[in-house]
A = this chain, B = another copy of it.
Amino acid sequence: MSGSHISLDPWFDSYADRSSGLSASEVRSLFAVASRPEVVSLAGGMPYVRAIPDTLMKQTLNRVIDERGPEALQYGSGQGHPELREQIVDIMALEGIRARPDDIVVTTGSQHGLDLIARLFVNPGDVVIAEAPSYVGAMGVFRSYEADVRHVEMDEDGIIPERLTEAISAARAEGKPIKMIYLIPNFHNPAGVTLSGARRMEIIDIAQSEGILIVEDNPYGLLWFDHAPPPAMRAASDEGIIYLGSFSKTFGPGLRVGWVVAPHGIREKLVLANEAAVLSPSSFSQLVVTEYFQHSDWVAQIDTFRGVYQERRDAMVAALAHELPGVHHTMPTGGFYLWLTLPAGLDSKEMLPRAVTELVAYTPGTAFYADDRGTENLRLAFCYPTPEDIKEGVSRLAKVIREEVELIETFEPSRDTSPIDTHVESPPPNLS
């Protein structure tokens, strides 16, 4: 081993190049903080799984054992259980998607679907285009395959087509391969906005004319509040779009069951990659999901989830209007999150320890960028705490923000620059 650097890990020099991208995410360290009961956590995106009745779970599990116990305990197929894939076809039809069971690969949560896609396509240095901001877990995947992530600005209607075209041209001018455009069109995590129907078509046209894959990540699509979002992008085209679906928000993330819909050639390779990684996704989890969706009134259950999350969004929006009337945030019409822009001069990452001291947690905007943007933003999750806790949490957060603003107003003359001025080159029209 070389003595060129000091490390307590004797295997430091043995790691692969891709391992240098592995670092503890800000969300991860927050999970530890947020688990203290006295902290109101507006940080984690944990669904409200208590909405699923215990009796229903017991019926489902007993049926799995009665009807196919040995199958549940055994190895399965690398593509996923055929019955589950048929049900997934029906579920996706609710969002306008026409697919066949053979187009689907079941994965260990949609996170592993994304991991397998990146593994299949990304050579070190390849460009992946993502929204600005984008999902922290996707940033982790892309980093671990050494992708060059380029963020494209969004506004209240989602990613801006002109900016996408510019980003593609810029990467092409550098001679860099662009492997995919990764998008969360519905109730964006973390931005809380939804890509408009017209823009979905524009984005598909751009991607198809440029020959670039779209990866459409849609964990929240069925969790709309006032009205359904536009049809999925995969509903408009079955070529050049890889679709990621998940049972984490319509059933429970603890089962780790998601899926990928992909064009035929890609789907074949995904099955092989899935087999190389895990042999087969869990038969047990898949059969629990299968029995649940076959025998429960899952559409009514999703209605229940919608009601729970809408009430919590309302509580958060009302609390923000009351406590921080001048502060901008997005207005989610579904999903789990809203995106807040701090008053000028505040830094969401620097402010976090003070927020935790005041017993409230959030996720700093920096977690959602592969570059150093996001200091002026934070993500608030309304999915898990009760409306009362949300009200209390926003009140605590507002106190921290007000004190930070006062501090800046007192000392501003001595500050050279604000983080916003130095870090954000081109603030998006509405989201900054």
Partner-B contacts on A (CB < 8 A) = 1, 7-12, 14-19, 22-25, 28, 31, 44, 46-47, 49-50, 52, 54, 57-58, 61-62, 65-66, 69-78, 108-109, 111-112, 115, 119-123, 126, 137, 140-141, 143-145, 177, 179, 211, 213, 239-240, 248, 251-256, 263-266, 269, 272-273, 275-285, 288
Contact = CB atoms under 8 A, between A and B. Distances in A.
Contacts of A76: 254
B75 A46 contact: yes
A11 B141 CA distance: 21
Given A137-B279, A275-B28, A278-B115, A256 B211 contact: no
A264 B279 CA distance: 27
Given A65-B58, A264-B9, A115 B276 contact: yes
A16 B120 contact: yes
Given A9-B265, A255-B73, A266-B9, A140 B276 contact: yes
Given A16-B123, A61-B62, 13 more contacts: A12-B265, A14-B177, A16-B119, A47-B74, A75-B254, A108-B282, A111-B279, A143-B276, A144-B273, A254-B282, A256-B281, A277-B277, A284-B284
A73 B253 contact: yes
27 contacts: A10-B263, A11-B213, A14-B179, A17-B123, A22-B269, A24-B272, A28-B78, A28-B275, A50-B70, A52-B73, A54-B65, A54-B66, A57-B73, A71-B254, A72-B252, A73-B254, A73-B255, A76-B254, A108-B256, A111-B279, A115-B276, A115-B278, A137-B279, A141-B276, A252-B284, A256-B284, A285-B285
